[in-house]
Amino acid sequence: MQKFLPLTVLSLTLGTATLSRAAGATTYPLTLTDDLGRQVTVKAEPRRIVSLLPSDTETLCALGVCDRLVGVDTYSDFPQQVTRLPKVGGLYDPDLEKIVALKPDLVVVSKYGKLEGPLTRAGITVLAVNPETYDEVFSKTLTLGRVVNREAQAKQLVLNMKRDIARVEILTRNATRKPSTYLEIDPAPYSVGPNSFIGVLLAKAGARNIIPASMGDFPKVDPEFIVKANPALMLGLDLKTARSRPGWNSLQAVKTGRVLPIPKELNTILGRPGPRLPEALRGLARLVHPELFR
């Protein structure tokens, strides 16, 4: 795959025209297993959808059914038009009454909200669609596409995303040096393993993650380990914080000033395994290899 990247881009570009006609319309009632392992039957094409996960909101809009959303969670803020929709609370404080009052024929939820019970009892179809890994971003896009009768658009969207990702990869793959990188997602400190969604993007952005896969996806890291690894680049904190930590003054990244906070907008997209994945990758690649984007 790595070797034939330019070919991949070409075939992805050419393939879009033929593929989009191959996908058929969804037939209802549609029965599928959701991310909570429940058997869910969608009786007819959903017309009034409530989305309780920002990445699902973005995916539904990217599939062209933004106008069918009648409510979203507190954190859904993209695309612009969803900010005008009624807000029905967040993961910890969902407003059940408000959701039911919107008369949705489909509510898309995360794995963790425990909303499926009460909403199902209220006679509402609830579907947990919760992308977490890199590969799931694509598979869940296709799932949502099937559910809302936009299978062709979903396949097209996945192809476009993969093409845009490959374009960034072509740049970073030919970078002369790949800096050893420590990415901090929480000052406790927590970092990301290579198999996590962000870890995959980090590798594609042309960085060598100092965290080995054996430490898990979101490990709490002993500061000793970071000092020993002596990364050339640190992301997710600022230079002042890094300097204030015991023993960090002597690290490569701190000495050369390669300690970069992740801009707020990019940080938001990085936490959303959805259609803006290529954008997140571009943002990361710009931080890791600014010389490639001049």
Site residues, other proteins (CB under 8 A): 75, 90, 92-93, 186-190, 220, 222-225, 227-228, 240-241, 244-247, 250, 267, 271
3 state DSSP class of 27:
coil
> What's the alpha-carbon Rg for the chain, to the nearest Å?
21
Residue 53 or 148 with smaller CB distance to other proteins: 53
Least distance in angstroms from the C-beta of 207 to other proteins: 22
d(CA 182, CA 133): 20
Residue 64 or 89 with smaller CB distance to other proteins: 89
Q: In the structure encoding, which two tokens stand for residue 101, read together?
A: 């009052």
Interhelix angle for 134-147 vs 54-62, to 10°? 60
Residue 48 or 111 with smaller CB distance to other proteins: 111
Residue 47 or 243 with smaller CB distance to other proteins: 243
CA 227 to chain centroid: 30
Least distance in angstroms from the C-beta of 16 to other proteins: 36
Residue 158 or 254 with smaller CB distance to other proteins: 254
Least distance in angstroms from the C-beta of 194 to other proteins: 18
CB contact at 8 A, 43 and 104: no
Q: Is 166 exposed, middle or buried (0-12, 13-18, 19+ CB in 10 A)?
A: buried
Q: Are strands 39-42 and 30-33 parallel, antiparallel or unpaired?
A: antiparallel
Residues across the chain:
294
Q: In the structure encoding, which two tokens stand for residue 185, read together?
A: 């997602």
Residue 145 or 236 with smaller CB distance to other proteins: 236
Residue 137 or 262 with smaller CB distance to other proteins: 262
Interhelix angle for 151-173 vs 134-147, to 10°? 160
Least distance in angstroms from the C-beta of 251 to other proteins: 9
Least distance in angstroms from the C-beta of 62 to other proteins: 23
Least distance in angstroms from the C-beta of 222 to other proteins: 4
CA 198 to chain centroid: 8
Least distance in angstroms from the C-beta of 253 to other proteins: 14
For 66-91, give one letter per residue: b (16+ CB within 10 A) or e: bebbbbbbbbbebeeebeebeebbeb
